């Protein structure tokens, strides 16, 4: 939506809406967005998982949209011109020429966004959901032992994120095989 322009190259209503959405989401903390979603927007809902999913989805969507926009803009303009000169429509050129090249550019930052999102889920305790961090705090309050529950949660987070990092590295390695670098 942010890349949409009219025939004269001026921004459209869609690009304005997308810009406001991205600016507001990127300009406010995730925990604040989660609390606004829980206490104001979806006040009548008692489904914390739904509220957290929507909140994190909106937050991550803003970042991913900017990552994809950057990936599309990283493809040289000549690629669009080449596709159009071959008789492809703008949509076909985007689908068959631009997006496949952009995907290779956006895989690493999208993987990083996914890892960040996974770590941000530690704040769902604010809306009464039990996550790894909240469980560690509950164990800490019952046993009066701070070290083991928190270190245990840290080890679990680290292990999951390390596995994801290794999988993403393997995906990037496989995608680089076709590069002529």
- Residue-wise pLDDT for 36-57, tens only, equals 999 999 988 888 899 999 999 9
> Which residue blocks in the chain are alpha helix, DSSP H?
13-26, 30-36, 48-74, 77-85, 90-93, 99-120, 132-143, 147-176
pLDDT on residue 140 = 93
Q: Is the pLDDT assigned to residue 180 strictly greater than 70? A: no
Domains detected in the chain: 1-109 (1.10.3720.10), 130-181 (no CATH)
104 contacts 68 by C-beta, under 8 angstroms: no
How much is the pTM?
0.83
The residue ranking higher by pLDDT, 156 or 180, is 156
């Amino acid at each position: 939506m942010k890349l949409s322009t009219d025939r004269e190259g001026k921004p459209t209503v869609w690009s304005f809406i997308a810009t406001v959405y991205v600016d507001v989401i990127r300009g406010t903390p995730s925990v604040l967005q989660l609390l606004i979603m829980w206490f104001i927007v979806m006040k009548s809902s008692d489904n914390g998982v739904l509220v957290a999913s929507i909140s994190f989805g909106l937050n991550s969507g803003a970042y991913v949209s900017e990552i994809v926009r950057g990936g599309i803009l990283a493809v040289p303009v000549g690629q669009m011109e080449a596709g159009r000169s071959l008789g492809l429509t703008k949509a076909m050129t985007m689908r068959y020429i631009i997006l496949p090249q952009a995907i290779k550019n956006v895989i690493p930052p999208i993987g990083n966004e996914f890892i960040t999102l996974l770590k941000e889920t530690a704040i769902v305790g604010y809306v009464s959901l039990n996550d790894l961090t909240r469980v560690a705090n509950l164990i800490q309050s019952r046993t009066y032992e701070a070290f083991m529950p928190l270190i245990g949660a840290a080890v679990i987070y680290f292990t999951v994120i390390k596995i994801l990092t290794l999988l993403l590295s393997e995906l990037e390695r496989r995608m680089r095989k076709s590069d002529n670098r």
